[in-house]
Structure 1
Amino acid sequence: METTSQWRTAGQDEVSLAASTDLFRHITADKAMFYRAIMGVFAAAKRQYRLQLRPDEVLAEADWGGALPAQEEVVTALAQLSVWGNLESQPDMARVSTLNDYYRARFLYRLSRGGEAVEAGLEAFAHSLRHRAELQTVALEDIDGRLQALQRLLGEAPSGEDIDVAKAHEILRDLVRVFEDLAGNAQAFMAGVARSLELQQADATALVAYKRRLIEYLERFMADLIRRSDAIARTLHELAQSIDGVLRQIAEREARDAAPADADERADETRRRWDIWRERWKGLCGWFLSSSNALPQAELLRARARAAIPQLLGAIAAMNERRSGRSDRSADFRALAQWFAACDGDDDAHRLARAAFALQPARHFSLDVAAGEDVPASTSWLDAPPLTINPRLREYGEAAPRGPLASVRDRSRGRALMALQLAEESRQVEAARRRLATGRPTLLSELGELDPQAFELFLGLLGEALAEQADPEQTVERQTGDGLLYLCLEPLAADSRAQIRTPVGVFSGRDHLLTVRPTRERA
């Protein structure tokens, strides 16, 4: 029986999934605009609290965008929407006056539960596409007003125990709603302010008007943000001492509405809701109060709004460049390619190439030509010997910089100092290798004290060995990455300990048997 029940449940899920996909078929059907006009009538009726509609009412109220369709076509579309599950139908007996009317199919239609969900989703989708990022100064005023109301409410009950919890709960709910709206719009503005500068197709008059409106809008918001943020931050500082108890009382009030449970479950529910309210309050404080490692979000939003003005000016400059008719190199090459394609023959193409790329004899330039290589100016560049061109001439158009030449600095002392430092480092590294690469098995506990170079080499060897070790009890044998040394690391008892003293501290851990030898000796 269990197996049969499970199979039946899975089949029901598949049927439900298929039915949910049918709800969206009217969007991609051949007569999608016709179906959407009908569904728009039912969505409007839902907002007007009308329970059901007749086909003639749908025909009269729909926005068909042209000539009215036949009523039979509307009836067919309503029946198809009922089959897909967007509408529900029932026989219409109110207008039956004769026996023929009784036998004639007449139906009343209303939105089904799935149809309501589809319409709500499509409306939210369309609203999201139309939504423009905005900076809300009204939201800042609302947040400030609600925080002051909460402060006055706490001032009426200094102990925090006699506070009107219902009123505090209502204030905080409104505060969370307004703050979430502000944060969502600010996030959209910070992410899409660059995309909102749609100036590619604007004319000069619209461009100037849009620039003026945007700059005034940003200046007004930044002024209000600076003024409101300080007041909100002061209020948050004053509420910080007593807000935790208020949030706990609100969490207890919300937990009373939860499903009946024992004392432990009620306590867990109260703690969970308390954590949620404390997290919301922490987010609100993070918007207006700075911490040790981060600036407040309001300051970041203010900086992003200021950065929108240079972006606007950059977009204006780019548009002016496009309007001035300046061509880029790729456009020049495309035009040149069209000219080459229009040439009648190879001779014309060669003449065009010489004219376009200046492929003419240039021996009359004052270049450093080796003795015996002087050739007439009429010699073709294909027949003349090659010339050695100074790279600076190719890059800057001149062989030597203008003005007096810079004095040559004597760097012999610096080179000698660098050579001494490299020799000293090489000597220290070689000494560290001789200190460790003895070729004899040595306990880590017997290495004694290591200087910084030897300890650095030891850490490198130990890191390469442990990288190959899949099990702490495994013996590792490998060649170092530079190929100069060969090492073998064998772990000892698990309770063994080894300590290696260095000038910077003591390195300790499990004792191992280490064998390091140069690669050439092993070979």
Structure 2
Amino acid sequence: MPNIGPEHLKPLSEFKYLNAENVSRYRLIMRVFYENHMKLRYWLRPLDVHGAVLHTGLIQDYTLEQCEQDLQVLHEWGNLECQQDKAKSTSIEEFKKKRFRYQMTAAAVEIERLLESLKRVQGYGGELDAGPLETILQRLRDVRDRGTQMPPAEAFALWKELQDRFRKLHENAVDYYAQISSTKAEALMQTAAFLTFKEDLRRYLQRFALGLQQFGAHVEGMLRALPAETVEAFLERVTRGEMEIPNLEDARDFDERIAAHREEWASFVAWFMGSDSDESEVVKLERATKEAIGRVVRQALALQEQARAGVSRRRDLAYLAQWFMRLDSIEDAHRLGAVVFGLYVPRHFQGEPPRSTDSADCSMWEETPLFRALSPKTRGPRQRLVISPVRDRAVQKAKALEAWRASQASARGLERRWLREGTFAISDYERLELEDRELLLQWISRALARPNHRFRHAEGFQIRVELPPKGDRHHISFPDGEMEMPNFRFHIRREGP
């Protein structure tokens, strides 16, 4: 199952400043904080921020009061941390003014880094490199050989390298296949320029496919051979090595950390080994590589055929015509035509024509021809359709309406007969008709669908169905058989005047 929880449904207020009403002011302020953050200047006063904004010259008529309001809004959205600046207070009045200084939150720093990286994005990027697979295989061998005796710090470093290589392999491959499947790549494959690097692309994809086949199977075999005790001991040492690093923002205990590492290891194993309901990502990646190679080859062949189609064959045809003219007999011309042009595309018609003779020595060319009419496939005039007159169905409609009214009257009469019964139980009857069964079951269904087991009929009656005691059932005969059902009791009374 994907790692999706309720936290993924909540809005992120930290991103509001990117599309707010005063987006230019907010983004400029956050950029000032980010530039100072990279220079190890974390806490800034409103006066410092206001001066830096005016120094850029991008915003005119920007007052200190507006700057303080913007800083407070960013603090409410979770982009800035606020702390009272007590060092600058020289009197009680200044202390009561609550001058603050601000610092970027961790989420705001990551957002600015994301915006910085988005400037350099020109495509999907990515690459196909089987090298991380070889490194992953080596690290798994270390886990197998020394996983239970490895120092915690070394185990944590190995775990980080293993996860980094795994993430790099997956993300680069996904991005690269997205790149060659984009509309820009599709447009490039339609041009003649694609033929210049077609072979390089094919070799590149083929080399990656061979790397997947070579190292992917080894990694899968290594994971299957790893004992569960070794993996558990290694994850415990990884967790202890992680907890040796002081981290003020991560307050998780040992059990929470090792549970997170177990989930990461399970995802890592499923990527290479798959599950009972789905195949591994290595197999999917290998299949995608082979499909990409086939698509590249097919597109290149199509472009080459298209290029050949535009070449004039006048000289070749003129030489061939002279060759035909030099032949002495029609038989030789037939042989040459068969060699040059081959067989024409035949058309087969299925049928059993009447034969004029049953002799096996009679050739098909001596038989009487069979004529069949073929419908044209052009957009020309089609066969004229037979127009049928509109028939008067008034009599049939009148009969159907009369039958419907009779059935409605019979249903109303049946309902009124049962409504006059007042209070009755299923056990009061030994045999009923099919219409009675349909009506009673309908009433039971409507009543049991309500909490008080009662409903109001269109005729102004209130119908309540009483549940029978446990085990109280009754057999009723119908024209189509017998039916056993609980012994429901009906209470019918008229409401209103």
Normalised TM-score (structure 2): 0.44
Normalised TM-score (structure 1): 0.42
